[in-house]
Structure 1
Amino acid sequence: MAERYPLPDLNELPEDIRTRILAVQEKAGFVPNVFVAFARRPAEWRAFFAYHDALMEPESCGRTSSLTKGEREMIVTATSAANQCLYCVVAHGAILRIYEKKPFVADQVAVNWRRADISPRQRAMLEFAMKVCQRSHEIEDADFTALHAHGFDDEDIWDIAAITAFFGLSNRMASFSGMQPNAEFYLMGRLPREKKASA
């Protein structure tokens, strides 16, 4: 399936957006399609990525969190699978494999997180994230108590819920627009990088 909306020309984008996209390309070696697809509406792009960065890179806005980068990606991968978002499962699953240094973990989390090779703490985190994803109206104090038992504080719990909710929006935008995962994502983190031969 092809994208339903034409991608904007990178050279015609506002300078701040083009600069950020080129920086991502420099770091990753390619431009994830979401960066270009959302840029068709610059104001929405800026708002989306500002919230994305605040949630996924809290240190960039002077905030700390006990959630690791891998755990954040784990939440995205599991809840995106529940929302049947191909783009986010493939893209964030790739990042999850890299952060966790486990080539199988993204597939496990996406297909059946209850059977995945993750810690009891991470399983409790995903239990809560999936409830926020699918039945947020049923959240109760007992859910907080269960997470506190695994060392999460109330700010961490906010993070789990906010990441889940934010990517619920992302999932729906990617799916309705026909956004496709970049081919590069499929193989990322599946095989160990070859070590450079020493001179």
Structure 2
Amino acid sequence: MPHIPLPDDIPGIRGPMAYSPETARPLNELANLLLRTNARHPESTLSEGERELIATYVSAQNDCFFCQTIHGAVASHHLGDADWSLVRSVKGDYVQAPISEKLKALLTVAGSVQQGGKHVTSEQIEAARSEGATDRDIHDTVLIAAAFCMFNRYVDGLGTLAPVDEPDFYRNRAALVVQNGYAASDSN
């Protein structure tokens, strides 16, 4: 049950964004900059699917059902993970997941950011670099993790609604996000 009057038919972060469109615009711009493409920063080696996996992992660590599910669905769409097994393995134990060592090192950094920015260590950064992460990859990982702590707290702090046991809802929304990006009508 939402803590403030939100539209009954708009789940997750989309409800608060409909309530406050003036804040929705910059939040969606941030999501698009962080998750959609690395074309503006060619020194980044992170794919859109990897960026979404970072968002998914942090959201899972924060126990934000809506965000981990929608971003997991978007990651799955980008990565061709039709049964979401890759996403589940990353959320469950990314060290054992079938992902690159670079992404594992970046997820370690993201997990530290989720606990608190000062938990990131020089050793974690060096491990990411040694696996091929660029400074832009490290920057973007930290910012994705920090932003998703905010997004997750926005969603759960307002008690938004989230469809449970409705994978098609998340798959359909993911297809819209992949096609159109994050916007007030199709956001996180």
| TM-score, reference length from structure 1 | 0.73
- Residue 111 of structure 1 is matched in structure 2 by 92
CA contact (8 A) 1:4 1:177 kept: yes
- 1:93 paired to 2:72: yes
Moved more, 133-142 or 175-184: 175-184
CA contact (8 A) 2:13 2:154 kept: no
CA distance in 1, matches of 2:91, 2:123: 26
> Cα distance, 1:115 vs. partner?
2.6
CA contact (8 A) 1:86 1:180 kept: no
Structure 1 pair 159/7, CA: closer, same or farther in 2 (3 Å)?
A: same
- Residue 35 of structure 1 is matched in structure 2 by 14
- Residue 133 of structure 2 is matched in structure 1 by 152
CA distance in 2, matches of 1:154, 1:185: 38
CA distance in 2, matches of 1:85, 1:33: 10
Q: Which amino acid aligns with 1:140?
A: T
Larger radius of gyration between Structure 1 and Structure 2? 1
* Alignment gaps of 5+ in structure 2: 172-188
> Cα distance, 1:155 vs. partner?
1.3
SS across alignment from 2:54: helix
CA distance in 2, matches of 1:9, 1:86: 18
CA RMSD of aligned residues (A): 2.5
CA distance in 2, matches of 1:183, 1:126: 26
* Alignment gaps of 5+ in structure 1: 11-30, 190-199
- Residue 159 of structure 2 is matched in structure 1 by 178
Q: Percent identity?
A: 28
Moved over 4 A (4+): 182-185
CA distance in 2, matches of 1:149, 1:185: 40
> Cα distance, 1:174 vs. partner?
0.8
Q: Which amino acid aligns with 1:137?
A: K
Q: Which amino acid aligns with 2:77?
A: I
Q: Which amino acid aligns with 1:109?
A: V
CA contact (8 A) 1:74 1:96 kept: yes
Q: Which amino acid aligns with 2:67?
A: C
Q: Which amino acid aligns with 1:179?
A: T
CA distance in 2, matches of 1:72, 1:107: 16
How many residues are matched? 167
- Residue 55 of structure 1 is matched in structure 2 by 34
More helix by share: 1
- 1:5 paired to 2:4: yes
**For 1:77, which of 56, 72, 77 is the aligned residue?**
56
- Residue 197 of structure 1 is matched in structure 2 by none
CA contact (8 A) 1:132 1:139 kept: yes
Which digits, 9 at most, give the CA deviation of each residue in 1:110-169, with x for residues without a partner?
A: 222223222222211111111111142132332221111111111110000000000000
- Residue 103 of structure 2 is matched in structure 1 by 122
Structure 1 pair 138/34, CA: closer, same or farther in 2 (3 Å)?
A: closer
**For 2:147, which of 150, 153, 166 is the aligned residue?**
166
| TM-score, reference length from structure 2 | 0.77
